[in-house]
Chains A and B, each alone.
Chain A
Amino acid sequence: MTLVRLRLPLVVAVAFILQQALLSNLQVAGAQPEILFLVVILVAMEAGPAKGAVVGFAVGLLIDLFVQTPFGLTALTLTLIGYGTGLAWEAVVDVGRWLMPAAAAVGSAGAVVLYAVLDALLGNPAALHRGLVPIVVMVGVVNGILAVPGAPVMRWALGRGARAPVPPGSAVGASRWGQGAGVSRQGVGR
Protein backbone atom coordinates (compact mmCIF):
# COMPACT_ATOMS: atom_id res chain seq x y z
CA MET A 1 0.00 0.00 0.00
CA THR A 2 2.66 2.48 1.05
CA LEU A 3 4.97 1.19 -1.63
CA VAL A 4 2.26 1.68 -4.22
CA ARG A 5 2.04 5.33 -3.21
CA LEU A 6 5.75 5.72 -3.90
CA ARG A 7 5.39 4.51 -7.49
CA LEU A 8 4.09 7.78 -8.90
CA PRO A 9 6.90 9.91 -7.36
CA LEU A 10 9.34 7.33 -8.72
CA VAL A 11 7.91 7.62 -12.24
CA VAL A 12 8.01 11.44 -12.00
CA ALA A 13 11.64 11.33 -10.79
CA VAL A 14 12.75 9.02 -13.62
CA ALA A 15 10.90 11.13 -16.21
CA PHE A 16 12.47 14.27 -14.75
CA ILE A 17 16.01 12.89 -14.93
CA LEU A 18 15.42 11.64 -18.49
CA GLN A 19 14.08 15.07 -19.47
CA GLN A 20 16.91 17.03 -17.89
CA ALA A 21 19.86 14.88 -18.79
CA LEU A 22 18.89 13.15 -22.03
CA LEU A 23 16.02 14.84 -23.84
CA SER A 24 17.38 18.34 -23.28
CA ASN A 25 20.25 17.38 -25.58
CA LEU A 26 18.09 15.76 -28.27
CA GLN A 27 16.84 18.78 -30.12
CA VAL A 28 15.28 18.94 -33.53
CA ALA A 29 14.59 22.34 -35.12
CA GLY A 30 15.08 24.01 -31.77
CA ALA A 31 12.49 21.84 -30.04
CA GLN A 32 12.79 19.11 -27.44
CA PRO A 33 10.25 16.64 -26.06
CA GLU A 34 8.50 17.49 -22.79
CA ILE A 35 7.78 14.10 -21.23
CA LEU A 36 6.73 15.57 -17.87
CA PHE A 37 3.73 17.09 -19.63
CA LEU A 38 2.86 13.56 -20.73
CA VAL A 39 3.14 12.28 -17.14
CA VAL A 40 0.59 14.87 -15.98
CA ILE A 41 -1.78 14.10 -18.87
CA LEU A 42 -1.64 10.34 -18.27
CA VAL A 43 -2.33 10.82 -14.55
CA ALA A 44 -5.33 12.99 -15.42
CA MET A 45 -6.66 10.38 -17.85
CA GLU A 46 -6.23 7.54 -15.39
CA ALA A 47 -7.25 9.25 -12.16
CA GLY A 48 -9.49 12.16 -13.11
CA PRO A 49 -9.33 15.97 -13.01
CA ALA A 50 -8.65 16.49 -9.29
CA LYS A 51 -5.61 14.26 -9.16
CA GLY A 52 -4.55 15.56 -12.58
CA ALA A 53 -4.57 19.11 -11.22
CA VAL A 54 -2.67 18.17 -8.03
CA VAL A 55 0.03 16.22 -9.89
CA GLY A 56 0.18 18.97 -12.53
CA PHE A 57 0.80 21.58 -9.84
CA ALA A 58 3.49 19.50 -8.12
CA VAL A 59 5.29 18.57 -11.35
CA GLY A 60 5.03 22.19 -12.50
CA LEU A 61 6.69 23.46 -9.33
CA LEU A 62 9.46 20.87 -9.75
CA ILE A 63 10.10 22.09 -13.30
CA ASP A 64 9.95 25.74 -12.19
CA LEU A 65 12.76 25.07 -9.70
CA PHE A 66 15.13 24.31 -12.58
CA VAL A 67 14.20 26.94 -15.17
CA GLN A 68 14.66 30.71 -15.25
CA THR A 69 11.21 31.53 -16.60
CA PRO A 70 8.65 33.14 -14.22
CA PHE A 71 8.38 30.96 -11.12
CA GLY A 72 4.95 29.35 -10.87
CA LEU A 73 4.06 29.62 -14.55
CA THR A 74 4.65 25.94 -15.31
CA ALA A 75 2.72 25.03 -12.15
CA LEU A 76 -0.25 27.13 -13.29
CA THR A 77 -0.12 25.72 -16.83
CA LEU A 78 0.09 22.09 -15.77
CA THR A 79 -2.61 22.52 -13.10
CA LEU A 80 -5.00 23.74 -15.80
CA ILE A 81 -3.89 21.09 -18.29
CA GLY A 82 -4.20 18.30 -15.70
CA TYR A 83 -7.69 19.40 -14.74
CA GLY A 84 -8.81 20.05 -18.31
CA THR A 85 -7.51 16.72 -19.61
CA GLY A 86 -9.16 14.82 -16.74
CA LEU A 87 -12.47 16.56 -17.34
CA ALA A 88 -12.37 16.08 -21.10
CA TRP A 89 -11.39 12.43 -20.78
CA GLU A 90 -14.31 11.74 -18.47
CA ALA A 91 -16.69 13.17 -21.02
CA VAL A 92 -15.41 10.76 -23.66
CA VAL A 93 -17.86 7.92 -24.17
CA ASP A 94 -16.22 5.70 -26.74
CA VAL A 95 -12.54 5.04 -26.23
CA GLY A 96 -11.08 3.87 -29.51
CA ARG A 97 -7.53 2.59 -29.61
CA TRP A 98 -6.26 5.71 -31.37
CA LEU A 99 -8.05 8.19 -29.14
CA MET A 100 -5.71 7.99 -26.15
CA PRO A 101 -2.46 8.86 -28.03
CA ALA A 102 -4.34 11.48 -30.04
CA ALA A 103 -5.68 13.09 -26.87
CA ALA A 104 -2.21 12.96 -25.26
CA ALA A 105 -0.79 14.69 -28.34
CA VAL A 106 -3.44 17.39 -28.34
CA GLY A 107 -3.11 17.92 -24.57
CA SER A 108 0.69 18.22 -24.77
CA ALA A 109 0.59 20.61 -27.70
CA GLY A 110 -2.11 22.57 -25.87
CA ALA A 111 0.13 22.81 -22.81
CA VAL A 112 2.90 24.42 -24.89
CA VAL A 113 0.48 26.94 -26.39
CA LEU A 114 -1.15 27.68 -23.03
CA TYR A 115 2.25 28.28 -21.43
CA ALA A 116 3.32 30.68 -24.17
CA VAL A 117 0.00 32.54 -24.08
CA LEU A 118 0.11 32.90 -20.28
CA ASP A 119 3.73 34.06 -20.47
CA ALA A 120 2.77 36.64 -23.11
CA LEU A 121 -0.22 37.81 -21.03
CA LEU A 122 2.06 38.25 -18.04
CA GLY A 123 4.16 40.76 -19.96
CA ASN A 124 6.57 38.80 -22.14
CA PRO A 125 5.27 39.15 -25.72
CA ALA A 126 8.51 37.57 -27.00
CA ALA A 127 7.13 34.24 -25.73
CA LEU A 128 4.89 34.02 -28.80
CA HIS A 129 7.68 33.75 -31.37
CA ARG A 130 7.94 31.84 -34.66
CA GLY A 131 10.04 29.09 -33.09
CA LEU A 132 6.98 28.00 -31.15
CA VAL A 133 5.50 26.13 -34.13
CA PRO A 134 8.15 23.38 -34.29
CA ILE A 135 7.98 23.11 -30.48
CA VAL A 136 4.21 22.56 -30.52
CA VAL A 137 4.52 19.93 -33.28
CA MET A 138 7.49 18.15 -31.68
CA VAL A 139 5.97 17.98 -28.20
CA GLY A 140 2.60 16.84 -29.56
CA VAL A 141 3.98 14.12 -31.83
CA VAL A 142 6.55 12.72 -29.39
CA ASN A 143 4.09 12.65 -26.49
CA GLY A 144 1.42 11.07 -28.66
CA ILE A 145 3.80 8.24 -29.54
CA LEU A 146 5.15 7.88 -26.00
CA ALA A 147 1.60 7.77 -24.60
CA VAL A 148 1.22 4.21 -25.94
CA PRO A 149 3.97 2.64 -23.78
CA GLY A 150 3.37 5.33 -21.14
CA ALA A 151 -0.22 4.36 -20.35
CA PRO A 152 0.52 0.91 -18.84
CA VAL A 153 3.44 2.43 -16.89
CA MET A 154 1.07 5.03 -15.49
CA ARG A 155 -1.52 2.38 -14.57
CA TRP A 156 1.22 0.57 -12.68
CA ALA A 157 2.31 3.84 -11.04
CA LEU A 158 -1.23 4.49 -9.86
CA GLY A 159 -1.60 0.93 -8.62
CA ARG A 160 -4.18 -0.06 -11.21
CA GLY A 161 -2.43 -3.09 -12.66
CA ALA A 162 -2.41 -3.67 -16.39
CA ARG A 163 -6.15 -4.03 -16.94
CA ALA A 164 -8.04 -1.88 -19.39
CA PRO A 165 -8.97 1.58 -18.16
CA VAL A 166 -12.41 2.00 -16.62
CA PRO A 167 -14.74 3.37 -19.29
CA PRO A 168 -14.92 7.09 -18.64
CA GLY A 169 -18.32 8.62 -18.03
CA SER A 170 -19.73 5.58 -16.26
CA ALA A 171 -20.76 5.75 -12.61
CA VAL A 172 -17.58 3.92 -11.60
CA GLY A 173 -15.53 6.17 -13.79
CA ALA A 174 -17.06 9.29 -12.27
CA SER A 175 -16.21 8.27 -8.75
CA ARG A 176 -12.72 6.98 -9.46
CA TRP A 177 -11.03 10.04 -8.11
CA GLY A 178 -13.49 10.32 -5.25
CA GLN A 179 -11.34 7.86 -3.35
CA GLY A 180 -7.97 9.56 -3.21
CA ALA A 181 -5.36 7.58 -5.09
CA GLY A 182 -8.04 5.18 -6.24
CA VAL A 183 -5.94 2.28 -5.06
CA SER A 184 -8.60 0.73 -2.88
CA ARG A 185 -11.26 1.14 -5.53
CA GLN A 186 -9.91 -1.49 -7.84
CA GLY A 187 -12.67 -3.73 -9.10
CA VAL A 188 -15.49 -1.89 -7.35
CA GLY A 189 -18.68 -2.10 -9.33
CA ARG A 190 -17.30 -4.67 -11.74
Chain B
Amino acid sequence: MAISSRRPTRTRTRTRPRFTLLVLVLASITILTLWYRGAANHWLNGAKGWAADVFAPVQTAVTGAFRPVANFFEGAASYGSLKAQNAKLRQEVTALRAQSALASTYRRQAQALEAQQHLAFAGTLHQVLTDVVAGSPSNFQDTIELDKGTRAGIQVGMPAVSGTGLVGRVIAVSARTSTVLLVTDPTSAVGVRFGSHGTLALAKGQGQGRSLTVDLVDPGTRLVKGEVMVTSGGQGDLYPPGIPVGRVESASVSPGSLQENVTLKPFVNLDQLEFVSVLKWTPQRGAVP
Protein backbone atom coordinates (compact mmCIF):
# COMPACT_ATOMS: atom_id res chain seq x y z
CA MET B 1 0.00 0.00 0.00
CA ALA B 2 2.66 2.36 1.05
CA ILE B 3 4.76 1.57 -2.00
CA SER B 4 1.91 1.80 -4.50
CA SER B 5 0.84 5.18 -3.14
CA ARG B 6 4.36 6.51 -3.24
CA ARG B 7 5.05 5.76 -6.86
CA PRO B 8 2.69 8.26 -8.52
CA THR B 9 3.94 10.96 -6.15
CA ARG B 10 7.45 10.31 -7.31
CA THR B 11 6.56 10.54 -11.02
CA ARG B 12 4.64 13.71 -10.37
CA THR B 13 7.49 15.33 -8.49
CA ARG B 14 9.89 14.36 -11.27
CA THR B 15 7.84 15.89 -14.07
CA ARG B 16 6.51 18.92 -12.25
CA PRO B 17 9.77 20.90 -11.91
CA ARG B 18 10.53 20.26 -15.58
CA PHE B 19 7.14 21.57 -16.57
CA THR B 20 7.65 24.63 -14.34
CA LEU B 21 11.02 25.22 -15.95
CA LEU B 22 9.56 24.96 -19.43
CA VAL B 23 6.78 27.43 -18.66
CA LEU B 24 9.14 29.95 -17.06
CA VAL B 25 11.74 29.73 -19.83
CA LEU B 26 9.04 30.22 -22.46
CA ALA B 27 7.68 33.18 -20.48
CA SER B 28 11.17 34.76 -20.32
CA ILE B 29 11.75 34.23 -24.02
CA THR B 30 8.35 35.72 -24.84
CA ILE B 31 9.13 38.81 -22.76
CA LEU B 32 12.58 39.09 -24.39
CA THR B 33 11.06 38.80 -27.86
CA LEU B 34 8.53 41.51 -27.07
CA TRP B 35 11.38 43.71 -25.84
CA TYR B 36 13.53 43.14 -28.93
CA ARG B 37 10.65 43.71 -31.33
CA GLY B 38 9.68 46.84 -29.41
CA ALA B 39 6.06 45.68 -29.38
CA ALA B 40 5.46 46.39 -25.72
CA ASN B 41 8.07 49.07 -25.15
CA HIS B 42 5.56 51.78 -24.41
CA TRP B 43 3.98 49.68 -21.70
CA LEU B 44 7.35 48.40 -20.46
CA ASN B 45 8.96 51.82 -20.25
CA GLY B 46 5.91 53.03 -18.38
CA ALA B 47 6.33 50.24 -15.84
CA LYS B 48 10.05 50.89 -15.55
CA GLY B 49 9.55 54.63 -15.10
CA TRP B 50 6.92 53.98 -12.47
CA ALA B 51 9.22 51.55 -10.63
CA ALA B 52 12.10 54.03 -10.78
CA ASP B 53 9.94 56.86 -9.39
CA VAL B 54 8.58 54.70 -6.58
CA PHE B 55 12.01 53.43 -5.62
CA ALA B 56 13.81 56.79 -5.92
CA PRO B 57 12.96 58.07 -2.39
CA VAL B 58 13.92 54.72 -0.82
CA GLN B 59 17.18 54.75 -2.73
CA THR B 60 18.03 58.31 -1.70
CA ALA B 61 17.23 57.58 1.95
CA VAL B 62 19.20 54.33 2.15
CA THR B 63 22.16 55.68 0.17
CA GLY B 64 22.25 58.72 2.48
CA ALA B 65 22.13 56.51 5.57
CA PHE B 66 24.90 54.23 4.33
CA ARG B 67 27.15 56.90 2.83
CA PRO B 68 29.26 57.31 6.00
CA VAL B 69 29.78 53.53 6.07
CA ALA B 70 30.83 53.42 2.44
CA ASN B 71 33.07 56.46 2.91
CA PHE B 72 34.68 54.86 5.95
CA PHE B 73 35.63 51.73 4.05
CA GLU B 74 36.83 53.71 1.09
CA GLY B 75 38.88 56.05 3.30
CA ALA B 76 40.34 53.25 5.40
CA ALA B 77 41.40 51.37 2.31
CA SER B 78 43.12 54.31 0.68
CA TYR B 79 44.47 56.47 3.54
CA GLY B 80 48.11 55.90 2.63
CA SER B 81 47.72 56.96 -0.95
CA LEU B 82 45.60 59.99 -0.04
CA LYS B 83 48.54 61.95 1.40
CA ALA B 84 50.65 61.46 -1.69
CA GLN B 85 47.65 62.23 -3.86
CA ASN B 86 47.04 65.46 -1.98
CA ALA B 87 50.54 66.73 -2.65
CA LYS B 88 50.30 65.75 -6.29
CA LEU B 89 46.94 67.47 -6.63
CA ARG B 90 48.30 70.72 -5.21
CA GLN B 91 51.02 70.69 -7.83
CA GLU B 92 48.50 70.00 -10.52
CA VAL B 93 46.27 72.86 -9.43
CA THR B 94 49.11 75.33 -10.01
CA ALA B 95 49.82 73.92 -13.44
CA LEU B 96 46.14 73.84 -14.37
CA ARG B 97 45.58 77.47 -13.39
CA ALA B 98 48.11 78.50 -15.99
CA GLN B 99 46.59 76.19 -18.58
CA SER B 100 43.11 77.42 -17.82
CA ALA B 101 44.05 80.99 -18.74
CA LEU B 102 45.41 79.75 -22.05
CA ALA B 103 42.39 77.53 -22.62
CA SER B 104 39.91 80.37 -22.33
CA THR B 105 41.58 82.01 -25.32
CA TYR B 106 41.30 78.82 -27.33
CA ARG B 107 37.70 78.36 -26.25
CA ARG B 108 36.77 81.75 -27.67
CA GLN B 109 38.41 80.85 -30.93
CA ALA B 110 36.74 77.45 -31.06
CA GLN B 111 33.36 78.96 -30.26
CA ALA B 112 33.70 81.39 -33.09
CA LEU B 113 34.60 78.56 -35.46
CA GLU B 114 31.73 76.33 -34.35
CA ALA B 115 29.30 79.23 -34.74
CA GLN B 116 30.49 79.67 -38.30
CA GLN B 117 29.77 76.02 -39.01
CA HIS B 118 26.30 76.35 -37.43
CA LEU B 119 27.10 73.69 -34.87
CA ALA B 120 26.05 73.98 -31.26
CA PHE B 121 29.03 74.33 -28.99
CA ALA B 122 28.76 72.41 -25.75
CA GLY B 123 29.70 75.47 -23.73
CA THR B 124 26.72 77.46 -24.96
CA LEU B 125 24.04 74.80 -24.37
CA HIS B 126 21.55 75.00 -21.52
CA GLN B 127 22.36 72.60 -18.71
CA VAL B 128 20.54 70.81 -15.92
CA LEU B 129 22.69 70.25 -12.81
CA THR B 130 21.92 66.94 -11.13
CA ASP B 131 23.06 64.86 -8.15
CA VAL B 132 24.38 61.38 -8.78
CA VAL B 133 22.28 59.23 -6.43
CA ALA B 134 23.67 55.78 -7.25
CA GLY B 135 26.07 53.81 -9.35
CA SER B 136 24.99 51.02 -11.62
CA PRO B 137 22.44 48.62 -10.12
CA SER B 138 23.97 45.78 -12.11
CA ASN B 139 27.31 44.40 -13.27
CA PHE B 140 26.02 44.23 -16.81
CA GLN B 141 25.67 47.90 -17.51
CA ASP B 142 27.98 50.77 -16.65
CA THR B 143 25.58 53.52 -15.68
CA ILE B 144 24.81 56.14 -13.03
CA GLU B 145 21.44 57.23 -11.66
CA LEU B 146 20.63 60.96 -11.52
CA ASP B 147 18.07 62.64 -9.27
CA LYS B 148 16.26 64.58 -12.01
CA GLY B 149 14.11 63.43 -14.91
CA THR B 150 11.55 64.65 -17.42
CA ARG B 151 10.22 67.19 -14.93
CA ALA B 152 13.55 69.02 -15.18
CA GLY B 153 13.46 68.77 -18.97
CA ILE B 154 15.80 65.80 -19.35
CA GLN B 155 15.19 63.59 -22.39
CA VAL B 156 16.62 60.33 -23.64
CA GLY B 157 19.73 60.97 -25.75
CA MET B 158 20.98 64.07 -23.94
CA PRO B 159 24.72 64.09 -23.18
CA ALA B 160 26.00 64.30 -19.61
CA VAL B 161 29.20 66.15 -18.70
CA SER B 162 31.09 66.78 -15.50
CA GLY B 163 33.37 69.79 -15.16
CA THR B 164 35.94 69.10 -17.83
CA GLY B 165 34.71 66.18 -19.79
CA LEU B 166 32.18 63.83 -21.23
CA VAL B 167 30.45 61.41 -18.85
CA GLY B 168 27.95 59.68 -21.14
CA ARG B 169 24.42 60.03 -22.40
CA VAL B 170 20.93 59.59 -20.96
CA ILE B 171 19.46 56.21 -21.96
CA ALA B 172 16.37 56.10 -19.73
CA VAL B 173 14.34 58.74 -18.00
CA SER B 174 11.36 58.79 -15.64
CA ALA B 175 9.58 61.75 -14.09
CA ARG B 176 12.10 62.16 -11.26
CA THR B 177 15.15 60.10 -12.23
CA SER B 178 17.34 59.41 -15.21
CA THR B 179 19.97 56.83 -16.13
CA VAL B 180 23.21 57.78 -17.87
CA LEU B 181 25.21 55.22 -19.86
CA LEU B 182 28.87 55.98 -19.13
CA VAL B 183 31.43 56.19 -21.95
CA THR B 184 33.22 53.19 -20.40
CA ASP B 185 30.24 50.84 -20.98
CA PRO B 186 31.12 48.17 -23.56
CA THR B 187 28.12 49.21 -25.67
CA SER B 188 29.16 52.87 -25.76
CA ALA B 189 30.93 54.33 -28.80
CA VAL B 190 31.84 58.01 -29.12
CA GLY B 191 32.90 59.70 -32.35
CA VAL B 192 36.08 61.63 -31.56
CA ARG B 193 38.39 64.10 -33.26
CA PHE B 194 42.05 64.86 -32.55
CA GLY B 195 45.20 66.46 -33.90
CA SER B 196 45.66 69.59 -35.92
CA HIS B 197 43.80 68.09 -38.89
CA GLY B 198 40.81 67.00 -36.84
CA THR B 199 41.31 63.29 -37.63
CA LEU B 200 38.17 61.28 -36.89
CA ALA B 201 38.05 58.06 -34.86
CA LEU B 202 35.74 56.04 -32.64
CA ALA B 203 36.29 55.63 -28.86
CA LYS B 204 34.71 52.45 -27.48
CA GLY B 205 34.13 51.50 -23.84
CA GLN B 206 35.89 48.47 -22.38
CA GLY B 207 34.04 48.08 -19.10
CA GLN B 208 33.98 49.94 -15.84
CA GLY B 209 37.25 51.46 -14.64
CA ARG B 210 39.04 50.66 -17.89
CA SER B 211 40.38 53.04 -20.50
CA LEU B 212 38.57 53.40 -23.82
CA THR B 213 40.05 51.95 -26.98
CA VAL B 214 40.12 54.12 -30.08
CA ASP B 215 39.28 52.43 -33.38
CA LEU B 216 39.84 53.58 -36.97
CA VAL B 217 43.20 55.30 -36.38
CA ASP B 218 45.42 54.62 -39.43
CA PRO B 219 48.85 53.15 -38.67
CA GLY B 220 51.45 55.87 -38.87
CA THR B 221 49.16 58.55 -37.52
CA ARG B 222 51.24 60.74 -35.22
CA LEU B 223 49.88 60.51 -31.71
CA VAL B 224 51.44 62.01 -28.61
CA LYS B 225 50.79 60.61 -25.18
CA GLY B 226 48.46 63.03 -23.43
CA GLU B 227 46.89 64.27 -26.65
CA VAL B 228 43.30 65.37 -26.10
CA MET B 229 40.41 63.84 -28.01
CA VAL B 230 37.08 65.69 -28.22
CA THR B 231 33.65 64.65 -29.48
CA SER B 232 33.51 65.02 -33.25
CA GLY B 233 29.83 65.95 -33.49
CA GLY B 234 29.29 65.12 -37.13
CA GLN B 235 25.92 64.75 -38.83
CA GLY B 236 23.74 62.30 -36.91
CA ASP B 237 26.30 61.92 -34.14
CA LEU B 238 25.19 61.07 -30.61
CA TYR B 239 27.07 64.00 -29.05
CA PRO B 240 27.48 67.69 -29.82
CA PRO B 241 30.98 68.65 -30.99
CA GLY B 242 33.83 69.87 -28.82
CA ILE B 243 33.29 68.05 -25.53
CA PRO B 244 36.66 66.73 -24.25
CA VAL B 245 36.52 62.94 -23.91
CA GLY B 246 39.97 62.00 -22.65
CA ARG B 247 43.73 61.93 -23.11
CA VAL B 248 45.69 59.38 -25.13
CA GLU B 249 47.26 56.93 -22.70
CA SER B 250 49.14 54.68 -25.10
CA ALA B 251 49.51 54.18 -28.84
CA SER B 252 51.21 51.35 -30.67
CA VAL B 253 50.99 49.46 -33.94
CA SER B 254 50.96 45.66 -34.05
CA PRO B 255 52.65 44.25 -37.16
CA GLY B 256 50.16 43.70 -39.96
CA SER B 257 47.41 45.60 -38.20
CA LEU B 258 45.23 47.95 -40.17
CA GLN B 259 44.89 50.38 -37.30
CA GLU B 260 46.81 51.67 -34.33
CA ASN B 261 46.11 50.34 -30.85
CA VAL B 262 45.18 53.51 -29.01
CA THR B 263 43.85 53.72 -25.47
CA LEU B 264 42.15 56.81 -24.13
CA LYS B 265 41.83 57.70 -20.45
CA PRO B 266 38.61 59.60 -19.74
CA PHE B 267 39.07 63.11 -18.32
CA VAL B 268 36.39 62.53 -15.74
CA ASN B 269 36.94 60.12 -12.86
CA LEU B 270 33.80 58.12 -13.53
CA ASP B 271 34.03 56.16 -10.28
CA GLN B 272 33.65 59.20 -8.05
CA LEU B 273 31.01 61.35 -9.64
CA GLU B 274 28.84 63.45 -7.34
CA PHE B 275 27.37 66.07 -9.66
CA VAL B 276 26.72 65.82 -13.36
CA SER B 277 25.35 68.36 -15.83
CA VAL B 278 22.95 67.17 -18.49
CA LEU B 279 23.24 69.24 -21.68
CA LYS B 280 19.95 70.19 -23.30
CA TRP B 281 20.80 68.79 -26.69
CA THR B 282 19.48 65.68 -28.45
CA PRO B 283 20.80 63.95 -31.57
CA GLN B 284 17.46 64.45 -33.31
CA ARG B 285 16.69 68.05 -32.45
CA GLY B 286 20.03 69.64 -31.66
CA ALA B 287 19.88 72.26 -28.93
CA VAL B 288 16.73 72.08 -26.80
CA PRO B 289 15.60 75.31 -25.15
* Contacts from A to B (Cβ < 8 Å): 17, 19-22, 24-27, 29-32, 34, 48-50, 53-54, 56-57, 60-61, 63, 65-76, 79-80, 83, 86-87, 112, 115-116, 119, 122, 124, 126-127, 129-132, 135, 139, 174-175, 177-178
Contact = CB atoms under 8 A, between A and B. Distances in A.
Nearest to B208: A30
Contacts of A73: 28, 32
B135 A60 contact: no
Contact of A66 (B16, B32, B137): B137
Q: Which 6 A-B pairs have the closest CB atoms?
A: A131-B207, A30-B208, A72-B31, A21-B62, A76-B28, A50-B17
Interface in B191-248: 206-210
Contacts of A79: 21, 24-25, 28
A83 B139 CA distance: 22
A57 B27 contact: yes
Interface string B64-105: 001001100100000000000000000000000000000000
Contact of B140 (A75, A116, A175): A116
Contacts of A80: 21, 25
Interface in B160-187: 171-172, 179, 181, 186-187
B9 A27 contact: no
A54 B25 CA distance: 10
Contacts of B181: 68
Contacts, number: 164
Contacts of A76: 25, 28-29, 32
Interface of B: 9-10, 12-13, 16-17, 20-21, 24-25, 27-32, 34-36, 44, 47-48, 51-52, 55, 58-59, 62-63, 66, 69-70, 73, 134-143, 171-172, 179, 181, 186-187, 206-210, 271
Contacts of A66: 48, 51-52, 55, 137-138
A65 B135 CA distance: 16
B9 A175 contact: yes
A74 B141 CA distance: 12
B31 A71 contact: yes
Contacts of A174: 10, 13
B32 A70 contact: yes
Name B's interface SS.
Answer: helix
Given A65-B48, A70-B36, A178-B9, A50 B206 contact: no
A107 to B, nearest CB: 15
Contact of B36 (A19, A122, A126): A122
Name A's interface SS.
Answer: helix
A73 B31 CA distance: 9
Contacts of A69: 138, 140-141
B34 to A, nearest CB: 8
Contacts of B186: 126-127, 129, 131
A142 B161 CA distance: 33
A126 B213 CA distance: 13
Contacts of A50: 16-17, 20-21
A178 B271 contact: no
B15 to A, nearest CB: 10
A27 B187 contact: no
A112 B139 CA distance: 9
A113 to B, nearest CB: 11
Contact of A60 (B28, B70, B137): B28
Given A25-B63, A131-B210, A67 B138 contact: yes
Contacts of B10: 174-175
Given A30-B209, A34-B139, A68-B143, 4 more contacts: A32-B136, A50-B21, A65-B51, A122-B36
